[in-house]
Amino acid sequence: MKRFYKIEGMTCQGCVKKIKKNISEIPNINEVSIDLENSSLEIDFKEKVSFLKLQESIPKKYKILQKSTDSIQSETNSNKLSKLKPLFLIILYIFGISFFINIRSWNINDFMLDYLGLFFIFFSLFKLLDLDGFARSFKQYDPIAKKISVYSKIYPFTEVFLGIMFLLRFNIIFILFLTFFVLSVTTIGVLDSLYRKKEIQCGCLGTVFQLPMTEVTLIENLIMIFMSLFMIISLW
């Protein structure tokens, strides 16, 4: 079982190492995690250990405080939003470029095609920066990658291919169907991970930003699926 605490008095990584070492030596403790920036302590217990015993195990200049469930949830949500900032900024950037490219002769289909093309190009770049790391992350939730390992390493190149085809307007109907299929499969995996409350890394930006898997990933995928389906219907 896991418990969360606040620690007062820490000033450096030396403090973190000292506290972690002392608490880890207490019997019936599996793992100790300390975040210096947030002054937080997470302990995974084999069996219950008294709060007094925890406090006595560390030097007196440090103080352990028990945290409420609401406080833990609030900090967790705040940390998730902070980690998702790069994703929001990149999507906003892609949206802005696609909008200004088409602002003079506005056409919703052209806007969506440019958005999809730039999206795949940008996101594939981050995946290719650490292909092995992305593959490990992707295999945790994508149904095809779980069964066919090599698919996780092919996927970023598939995104490059889709992005180029969208921007060149080449064989659009086929590319839209392929996009719809690929994203639908991945979305099934995302839904399953969220339903099971798995704390895993989202592979959408590779391992560069270490984004957590959240509802934002699901919404992002559903928007892309909607765009591809909308254009299949309108261009068919």
Domain count, the chain: 2
Cβ pair 122, 94 in contact under 8 A: yes
114-118, 182-186, 209-213: segment of lowest average pLDDT: 209-213
Same domain, 119 and 196: yes
Cβ pair 223, 94 in contact under 8 A: no
| Residue 70 pLDDT exceeds 70 | no
User: 80 pLDDT band (50/70/90 cuts)?
Assistant: low
Whether 74 is covered by a domain: the verdict is no
pLDDT at 72: 46
Residue 165, SS3 per DSSP: helix
Cβ pair 34, 12 in contact under 8 A: no
Same domain, 117 and 211: yes
Same domain, 47 and 92: no
pLDDT at 126: 93
4/190: higher pLDDT: 190
| Residue 67 pLDDT exceeds 80 | no
Same domain, 22 and 108: no
Same domain, 219 and 195: yes
User: 77 pLDDT band (50/70/90 cuts)?
Assistant: low
Q: How far apart are CA 150 and CA 156, in angstroms?
A: 11
Asked which of 43, 67, 91 is the last residue of a domain, the reply is: 67
Cβ pair 126, 94 in contact under 8 A: no
| Residue 76 pLDDT exceeds 80 | no
Q: Give the structural domain span for 137.
A: 79-235
| Residue 75 pLDDT exceeds 60 | no
| Ramachandran area for residue 118 (φ above 0: left; ψ -120 to 50: alpha; else beta) | alpha
Q: How far apart are CA 140 and CA 49, in angstroms?
A: 33
Asked which of 67, 91, 108 is the last residue of a domain, the reply is: 67
